[in-house]
Amino acid sequence: MTNEESLIERIRKLNAKANDKSVTEAEAALYAQKVAQLLQQHNLSEAAIQVKEDVEEVGEARIYNSKTGDTWAQTMAGAVARLYFCDIYLNRLGQNVKIAFVGKPHNVEVATSMTLYLIKTIGRLANEYARSPEAVADWNYTFTRARNGFERGAGMRMYERLVAMRKEQTQSQPQRAANGNPSNLPALYQDESTLVKAYMSRIGLSKGRGGGMDTSGGHAARGRAAANSISLNAQVGGTSARMLK
């Protein structure tokens, strides 16, 4: 098993633990934090030993469920991808829309897992809200209207939080070793972004970043508020003291 395959296997095992229904939210956060730390350490150590960085190293993986055709999920997925050194495009086949993540395999593994976790969590919270007395009391209530409004509000708020996290990681100046390889996260983001763009350009892909969303109304406001409490577990290079709650 190569170092790359070993890393991906460790990430999958930790992600499985983080998504195990038997663990607490705090335990899930610790497992996911370890995943983020592994990702940062691997990417920077890879750069430090001058592993050949070629566009051929970049690949893709697609996810699909009942929400991947929704604008809020696509917009949020784009922010997750860019936080984890990837990007996305949309693969449409009739009414079905898959979100395709592009990046190095270990980065794609984390980005897809985090996106599915957030989609699942928002969907669960939206269904709970849509059945609540608070939602039913709305003057134009229907279950579908309440659920969809909540999802749009939550999805946009998660997008904002993810963008803020990436901005925090890239606010300092990129630093490079004498050989030109990245020695901090801002420089690493630059290089990974260049690789992903080259891959997508080479095979004629058009990036999908989602469109605008109507997040007005009480249901969306409830979704935005709830999204502030969804654990993002750990940011790239984060510590438990910096985890967003």
Is 239 a member of any domain? no
In three-state secondary structure terms, 3 is helix
| 4-18, 100-114, 131-145: least confident range | 4-18
Is 136 a member of any domain? yes
Q: Rounded mean pLDDT of 125-149?
A: 95
Is 179 a member of any domain? yes
Q: Is the pLDDT confidence value at 233 over 70?
A: no
Q: Rounded mean pLDDT of 37-61?
A: 62
Residue numbers of the domain that contains 54: 3-230
Q: Is the pLDDT confidence value at 1 over 90?
A: no
Is 38 a member of any domain? yes
Burial 114-136 (b: 16+ CB within 10 A, else e): bbbbbbebbbebbeebbeeeebe
Q: Is the pLDDT confidence value at 198 over 80?
A: yes
Q: Rounded mean pLDDT of 65-90?
A: 93
Q: Is the pLDDT confidence value at 243 over 50?
A: no
pLDDT band at 20 (very low <50, low <70, confident <90, very high): low
Q: Rounded mean pLDDT of 161-173?
A: 89
Is 242 a member of any domain? no
Is 241 a member of any domain? no
In the prediction, which pLDDT does 207 show? 56
End-to-end Cα distance, the chain: 37
Is 240 a member of any domain? no
How many domains, the chain? 1
pLDDT band at 236 (very low <50, low <70, confident <90, very high): very low
Q: Which range in 25-39, 43-57, 176-190, 213-227 is most confidently predicted, on average pLDDT?
A: 213-227
pTM of structure: 0.78
Q: Rounded mean pLDDT of 210-236?
A: 74
In three-state secondary structure terms, 26 is helix
In the prediction, which pLDDT does 118 show? 87
Q: Is the pLDDT confidence value at 39 over 60?
A: yes
- CB-based burial of residue 188 (10 Å sphere; 0-12 exposed, 13-18 middle, 19+ buried)? buried
- Which among 76, 59, 57 has a CA at the least distance from the CA of 68? 76
Is 235 a member of any domain? no
Q: Rounded mean pLDDT of 66-87?
A: 93
CA angle 232–233–235, rounded 5-degree value: 75
In three-state secondary structure terms, 68 is coil
